[in-house]
Amino acid sequence: MELKKGKAIIFSAPSGAGKTTIVRHLLSIPSLRLSFSVSATSRPKRGKEEDGKDYYFLSASDFQTRVKNGDFLEWEEVYKEQYYGTLKSEIERIWQSGYNVIFDVDVVGGLNLKKIFGENALAIFVQPPSIEVLNFRLRNRSTETAEKIAMRIEKAAHEMQFAPQFDFILINDQLEEALKQAEAKVSEFVQS
């Protein structure tokens, strides 16, 4: 499938850095004309997540079948048997509707998308002030076991090494300031 070209805004960060909060804020600003790219995943639903809104939830075998069929723009196995990816049909749907696509993806996915979209992409890395703060945020979410949090912290330390490969590093220390910076960067990009 040849994609019609539009603009892509990519937010990546270690889990718990605040990227989802920032993306939700940006989606609430009509002048930016943003539409969220719903990723596909093989992981189980968490809490009140909804299929087609938070993720397209697929079984691991369905995910692999769609990979073989060439349905994904990019995908990866983030944790054992837990796949995440961007469906080509999702991007086409957003661009056809006249919106800019915004992504909330992990670091590897973000860098892959940056390569795919080239100059049509703005890739922003949301960085927590420190690993300690990130650990605190993840524990306060109360959505995962201590073992899962430890896995995420280990992965976060690794992911933060990739920050310089993004177009902009947004340090999320004070949320209101981070929201203002994100809004300014995205506004400038979509109007260029």
Q: What is the mean pLDDT of residues 154-168?
A: 92
Distance from first CA to last CA of the chain, Å, rounded? Answer: 27
| Cβ-based neighbour number of residue 126 at 10 Å | 25
Judge whether residue 75 has pLDDT over 60: yes
Boundaries of every domain in the chain: 8-190
- Rg, the chain, Cα only: 16
Q: Was domain 8-190 assigned CATH 3.70.10.10? A: no
- What would the two tokens of residue 22 be? 């920032």
Q: What is the mean pLDDT of the chain?
A: 91
111 contacts 162 by C-beta, under 8 angstroms: yes
Backbone angles phi, psi at 82, to 5 degrees: -115, 105
- What would the two tokens of residue 167 be? 């177009």
User: Does 168 or 151 have the greater pLDDT score?
Assistant: 168
Judge whether residue 1 has pLDDT over 50: no
pLDDT of residue 150: 87
pLDDT of residue 3: 52
**Tens digit of each residue's pLDDT (9 = 90 or more) over 87-121:** 999 999 999 999 999 998 888 889 999 999 999 99
43 contacts 56 by C-beta, under 8 angstroms: no
